[in-house]
Chains A and B, each alone.
Chain A
Amino acid sequence: MARDRQNSDEFVRPIRRLLIGGLALALIGLFLLWRIDSPRVERLRAALVDRVVPSFDWAMAPFTRLADMVDAAQSYASLYEQNQELRRELQQMRAWREAALQLEQKNARLLDLNNVRLDPQLTYVTGVVMADVGSPFRQSVLLNVGSRDGIRDGWATMDGLGLVGRISGVGEATSRVILLTDSNSRIPVTIQPSGQRALLAGDNSAAPPVEFLENPDLVRPGDRVVSSGDGGMFPADLLVGQVAQGADGRLRVRLAADYERLDFLRVLRSRPVPRIEDPGGLVAPPAPFDRPVPVPVPEPEVAAEPAEAGDG
């Protein structure tokens, strides 16, 4: 018995060491591959999430529902106060709604008078948040719409009110949304009354700071922050939130979207804006030295030239 044990130890130990070494090498290889060729490994990641998370879905639904019910039960305690408050708010909202309707009509009339062309209406796909796939240092959620619904990387995502984040990583039936609070999120924004351009840089806190602000004196807490559409990735004028001054004196943005309860999210289909790349051709008949080969039939050319000259 004792010899058996020694023998097996002698055999097992080197094999074991080999196994550990092999595993470590494979992991290092995976990390290096990710660092060198990130998109390929990210696709693998999207495929894995696509496979794993939907299979959890049936089990997650009751838990999520239960947590919602507990939340709801807690709010029953203060039902009366809430009801009163809601009534007051509703009264105020009615007044605002009236004002908004009037302004909308006025706006439409003025636009019509000026013959302004605005961006075509954005269309959107709505998805349900399936899972919270962030770690303590990464903020992201998973939606149940993916490439089969036509979702692409980089599209903007909103809840009912404000911007939530940007699609990053699309699987067949799932897609990942990097939230604005993630430390990798950088969104070009405009701060509304003053029109200052800035960058909203997530830093893992609930209120991301505003960076690269040209003139901070023109910005007050309470100003509206909307996306600016710079860089062509996001549509312009999506509501992001309000400026607030943090305890450290930095200007931060209190986000309009309700991050505590992300449920249904809209993914905005943004079509690539046609870019103007070349400086534009010269509006003139082509110069003769442009053609290396002499044109064999000169007659139509001669006929066309006076006509164009007549136009100009």
Chain B
Amino acid sequence: MVGEGSSRRRLRRLAPLGAALLMWCLGSASVNAATGWWQSAPGPPRILSAVASNSTYTTLAISGGVAGWLDSRSGNFALASSTSKVAFVAAKGDSGLILESTGELYTISSTGATQRLQRLPGRPLGLAISAGANPVAAALTNRGVYRGELGSRLRLVASAFPLQTPLTLAGPVTSSEPFALATAHGVFLLGSRGPLRRVQNSPRLGAHAHIAELGNGTILVGDDRGLISAYYRGRWTPIFQLLPYGGLGGVPQLDGIVGVGLDAAYVATSGFGTLLTPDGGYSWYRASPPSISGTILALATLGPIYGTRPVGLVLAVSPSRVFLHRLEALPTPPIYSGATETAQLWGTALVTALAAALVICLMWLIRRRHRRRLFV
């Protein structure tokens, strides 16, 4: 009896250890599933306020009101010459555009040398360069929208009148109308040629509006109300509503939207970090860099990201540093076939059978030793 008692006591001592092991297994497996999504950008921590999407791994960014080329692979930031108080940047391969808050527009080469193009009237609101072999640039101010070939002067396409209150401009998008404008009177599309076209039934947008187009043509728009709507095949649908932060906090501000691949998109917020929709807005997931404040100021994509199997980077700018997510590193579910699938299946069945057998044997041993019956 003494031996039985001590054995039971030993087992009792082991029970908390087993429970702790179980909790550790569950906890570590959960944590592992969430790590490795974002990495800090190489180089010293850099504070950026804006960054432009580009088809290469080097792009234009703004740091301390000054524009420069940011190399996402090395972390180098080469300042552009003779620019200050930069409001917007746009990049296309090795060249780009810089729009200062005064309305001064510059072209910039890969060496960082700038050349003044013109002064745009009004308060700058956006700048973009289209994709394709013959890139077209567009700029938006509160006086109107301007368009022209990259490297040449931009011409007024539409004054502020049809736009009412222009808010933001996005590009590049893949369709024949490479620019999308969010305004208080709805969404407008602008082609490389021709006039602005208002998208029918588009939602009226408030402050801090952001707009992006996905590879399949879906347009996502959102504003400070936290409502994100999608446009696909001639129909607008409200797809996602950001909720209040909690307590007395309001709805977190929407800081940016970027499309990744055919129907995935990242949304940046001040409060909820980044959110990801992998299916055009149907389902949403947390996909935040490890930012303490949960604030992501800007998002950009680098490299080829519009293919069916996107390769490239998503770049997230937090108030203290820059994070990178490599699209090629996205975890994909393994595809088992043939012998591998059979081995996996039988292995799992074996684990199940062995675990059951072991548990039954141990319980039998315990019952046999103690001859105690819990139930009749």
Q: Are A and B associated in one complex?
A: no
